Amino acid sequence: MTAKILIVDDEPDIVDLLAYNLGNEGYSTLKAYDGETALQTARSELPSLIILDLMLPGIQGMDVCRQLRNNEATRDIPIIMLTAKGDEVDKILGLEMGADDYVTKPFSVRELLARVRSVLRRSTPREETSDEKAFSFWGLTIDYRRHSVTVDEKPIELSPMEFRLLQFLAQHPGRVYTRDQLLDHVWGDDAFVEPRTVDVHIRRLRARIEKDAARPRYIFTVRGFGYKFADIS
């Protein structure tokens, strides 16, 4: 099935450039030039991925991202933020809002296409080879086959990457992993993902599954080393 990509930017030349190159890669494309149109198109078309400019007329890119993540129909659509801002704070804020990747202008079309392929690959649930079907610990239940999570019997909505990260940590309880090790095991062979991305996903994951993210029961920070799931022995 051909992936459908929504391109959102207020510069028509950039939209046309991306549409042309994505089309050459076999993707179908949708176009939007402002935040309101982007939201309407995303909700009606449910694209496979959104390339979203941060600076837009009307509704800003950050707000578009936030609204997409708060809507059940669009919350899992991968988002690559495209912006002229290169400030680290903007980058982390974009990831905190739910973006899956971040590209600054001016950009290399080849690099952006590689990131598109990478994000689409990461957002596709993997077939599990383990015979283990489920995991339960202190009210947390992970159904590996159905890709579902509950905490105290309450369903928890996770993105594919958040689920993959939780699954990996839960399958290795008590073992500490560095950011680089988590990137290798969970994100795979992706040269574009930065170690700080792990921190952002851990925070988002804790916000969803922990009753008190400051006093976690499941995912712990080991200062100076990395992260681990609770020791269940």
The pLDDT value recorded for residue 94 is 76
For residues 110 and 170, membership in a common domain is answered with: no
The pLDDT value recorded for residue 124 is 65
Phi, psi of 60 (to 5 degrees): -70, 160
For residues 141 and 93, membership in a common domain is answered with: no
CATH of the domain at 167: 1.10.10.10
Q: Is the pLDDT of residue 131 over 70?
A: no
How many angstroms separate the CA atoms of 132 and 144, rounded? 8
For residues 60 and 79, membership in a common domain is answered with: yes
The pLDDT value recorded for residue 82 is 86
Name the token pair of 29. Answer: 């494309």
DSSP code per residue over 140-209: EEEETTTTEEEETTEEE---HHHHHHHHHHHTSTT--B-HHHHIIIII-S-TT--THHHHHHHHHHHHHH
CA dihedral for 185, 75, 58, 6, sign (positive or negative)? positive
Task: Tell me the pTM.
Answer: 0.68
Enclosing domain of residue 79: 4-123
CATH of the domain at 100: 3.40.50.2300
Q: Is the pLDDT of residue 54 over 60?
A: yes
Q: Flag whether 163 is in a domain.
A: yes
For residues 108 and 142, membership in a common domain is answered with: no
For residues 14 and 117, membership in a common domain is answered with: yes
CA dihedral for 119, 120, 125, 128, sign (positive or negative)? negative
Q: Flag whether 128 is in a domain.
A: no
- Give, rounded to a whole angstrom, the gap between the first and last alpha carbons of the chain: 44
* Residue 215 or residue 133, greater confidence: 215
For residues 143 and 114, membership in a common domain is answered with: no
